[in-house]
Amino acid sequence: MLHELLLSLLGYTGDLIIDIKESEHLSSQTPISDECTFKLAPDINFIDPSDRELIERIIALGFYYRELDRFSEKSRNLSWIRSSNEIENPFGTVSDMSKGKRENPSVYRRALANGIVEILSVYRSAVLHIEQLLLSETIPILATVTQCLNKFFSLLPPLYKLILEIERDDIRGGQLLNLLHKRHHCGVPELQTCIQRLLWHGHQVMYNQLASWVIYGILQDQHGEFFIRSQEARDVENSSSHPDISEKLARLSTDDASLSDWHLGFHICLDMLPEYIPMRVAESILFAGKAVRVLRNPSPSFQSGDAVYPQMPKSFQTRHELAGQSQFRRETVINMGMGEDLLPQSEADKIEAMLLDLKESSEFHKRSFEYAVDSIQGIAASHLWQLVVVRADLNGHLRALKDYFLLAKGDFFQCFLEESRQLMRLPPRQSTAEADLMVPFQLAALKTIGEEDKYFSKVSLRIPSLGITVKSSQLDLQKATSSTDGVGASISSASSEMSSEGWDGITLEYSVDWPLHLFFTQEVLSKYLKVFQYLLRLKRTQMELEKLWASVMHQYHTGFAKHRNDRDKCSITHEKRQRLRPMWQVREHMAFLIRNLQFYIQVDVIESQWNILQTHIEESHDFTELVGFHQEYLSALISQSFLDIGSVSRILDGIMKLCLQFCWNIENQDNSSNTSELEHIAEEFNKKSNSLYTILRSSRLAGSQRAPFLRRFILRLNLNSFFEATARGVLNVVRPRPTTLSVLNQH
């Protein structure tokens, strides 16, 4: 009876102690029983009820041992390994075997099973010690067994419930770590120590995956258990109806693959993220791994030295020398010339040492883990900063975007608009609009841009699909009128509006090389493009107002010199000038508003924000900080230019359209209906300009921090209190709204 009891403690039943489900064949694939099946044989009647109850309590440990041992054997079974192509294909997808027929293998469960095996070995040693003790001395059997196995009564049942929950809910990966971390907080010291050991085994796997990710940029996660997940693998897994996705991925160039990896290649899987790891820390781990992938996989053009990277800017040299880091600057320049590894081995060793310290710790310390992750993220961000800012000349590209997208090269765009002025007066042709506009674009470049500007080659002019339907009769009429008048003065207001809407779709594209695509994303370039289109329309409007004055004054002087001896014609010309005098006041009001708005955006907004960005670039040594500063820079440009306020942007859009219509109607002076149209345009301009001033001077907008120079703009705009007086009519506060003519006569 003694040996049968001891054998039952190791999971083997017989005649005295039976398994009520022994008829079932037990294997590693047999599900774990959800209740204890070890019982004392019912036909044994010579055992007291109290002893029977104690024996059944003892032999329950044997059942728990057997189930834990079966779970360990199943989880540690490596028979699912067939070949490397069954584990992972070149695109990182899970093998077909792991998808369906058999249960998904789990390295985290294997680690847990290794910990359980350690505990079971201690249990077996205790059973062996009981056998030796009972054979050497004549002592009460049940009391001795109970005493020697006392601590296992508080260990094996909770462990059995743990594996039962794991099997029932198919808990794997980070979910398993989360479950162990929750069970670790208990009031039983022995059980807490045991769960802590199991958690240590699980963390060893996590640290190995973490080391592979942040040291080499490789995601070692064949079974989808790490909280960093490959987006590409998930897309391929879900693309059974799209078999050509793998071919598309295979055709990606190195730069495209790097871009895809950085922006869309990897993400945080919340299901596998343990709750005790904050999202901020997980994002730092994600960034560090992606940064290491970039640093360890440079573009072939970068490796071959085809791309020209200028020397370190003087601002960076001065800052490093003042900080006593001239050696860093010297090594940077050497690396730029020799093309050494972007991530030195010493830095990789430093990261590995930090992770090794975490692995060797018997407990998981959240603060130590977060400190190590922050340090690793800082190392990756620092080297990525050196790559993007110093070696790839980020500041030069930022200045190029400022020159061309923010119209800092005013002479170039002034020349471009002058060369394309006549072209833009006609509606763009769907098929040749881009080619037509490329001619004045290249002419302006030849006249204003020198050979030293190497960034102009990265800028290209585009006109997206126009979607404008122009009737052939309108086109013929416009061709006829343009042929009879050298300046195209007889363009109708309808075609002028169509022209304005069509050419407003002009866009610029900027060719971004590796690794700057990490910084200049499509979202960033779209924000630049939004500001560019707004500024180009503003500059075009200002130029048309100036050209209108010069053109008409030239006509008047020519007419006066030609007909100075003809009093009748001279009187007609004088009468015409008197009739249009109020319109010249309207033109001056338009030009005044457009000039002040342009000065406000170019000087108060763009230049001030550019200086702030330059200060941040010089003071920062972290890539993630630079990305944040640049986002703040773009947001400030958009918000302070009122592009994110629908009411203001609509009013400004309407004002620019009215200004262009006014210019084209003034040049068409011979039309009898022109005067009434001009008065209508003047009245509409008066309404919109007063509404604009009313909105801008509101306390909610002028007093906010979003536009620190808005009060200065309003002060310049409200010269001689003109807008303040006319805006009262809009607000209907003091007196009725003044008429257009009375306002013109006041100014």
For 651-665, the pLDDT digits (tens) are 888 888 888 887 777
Higher pLDDT among residues 304 and 285, named by residue: 285
Mean pLDDT of all residues in 205-218: 92
Q: For the chain, what percent of residues have pLDDT higher than 70?
A: 70
CA distance 662 to 667: 9
Q: What is the pLDDT of residue 386?
A: 87
Is the pLDDT reported for residue 278 higher than 90?
yes
Give the number of other CB atoms < 10 A from CB of residue 566.
Answer: 11
Q: Check residue 199 and give its pLDDT.
A: 94
3-class secondary structure per residue, 526-563: HHHHHHHHHHHHHHHHHHHHHHHHHHHHHHHHHHHHHC
Cis ω before 515 (30° cut-off from 0): yes
Among 19-33, 101-115, 157-171, 511-525, where is mean pLDDT lowest?
A: 19-33
113/122 Cα distance (integer angstroms):
14
- pLDDT for 306 equals 42
Instruction: Kindly tell me if the per-residue pLDDT of 699 is higher than 70.
Output: no
How much is the pLDDT for 574? 55
Torsion angle defined by CA atoms of residues 416, 418, 423 and 427, in that order, rounded to the nearest 10 degrees? 90
Where along the chain do its domains lie?
A: 1-78+106-171, 215-233+260-300+343-391, 394-465+502-519, 521-732
Taking the model in full, what pTM does it have?
A: 0.71
Residues 319-344, mean pLDDT to the nearest whole number: 45
∠ CA(674), CA(679), CA(684), 5° rounding?
125
**Mean of all residue pLDDT scores within the chain:** 75
Q: For the segment 9-58, what is each residue's pLDDT rounded down to a tens digit?
A: 888 887 777 877 765 566 666 777 777 877 777 777 777 777 777 888 88
Mean pLDDT across 247-273: 66
Model confidence at 322: pLDDT above 80: no
CA terminus-to-terminus distance, the chain: 117
- Cα–Cα distance measured from residue 551 to residue 15, given in angstroms and rounded to the nearest whole number: 116
Lowest mean pLDDT among 66-80, 368-382, 689-703: 689-703
pLDDT at 405 over 80: yes
pLDDT at 581: 66
Of 394, 292, 310, 400, the C-alpha closest to 350 is 292
Quick one: average pLDDT of 474-497? 37
- pLDDT band at 314; cut points 50, 70, 90: very low
Instruction: In whole angstroms, give the CA distance from residue 680 to residue 695.
Output: 23
Please list, in sequence order, all residues whose beta carbon lies within 8 angstroms of the beta carbon of residue 237, skipping any fewer than 6 positions away. Answer: 93, 94
143-171 mean pLDDT: 88
User: What is the band of 185 on the pLDDT scale with cuts at 50, 70, 90?
Assistant: confident
Per-residue model confidence as pLDDT tens digits over 665-686: 777 665 444 677 777 888 888 8
Please give the full DSSP string across 335-378, using - where no structure is assigned.
HHHHT--SS-HHHHHHHHHHHHHHHH-SS--HHHHHHHHHHHHH
pLDDT tens digits, one per residue of 565-624: 555 555 545 555 555 566 777 777 888 888 888 888 888 889 999 999 999 988 888 888
Q: Which residue has the higher pLDDT, 477 or 15?
A: 15
pLDDT score for 215: 92
Q: Rounded CA gap, 536 and 35, in Å?
A: 77
> How much is the pLDDT for 333?
36
C-beta separation of 55 from 40 below 8 A: yes
Q: Which residues pair with 88 in a beta bridge?
A: 94
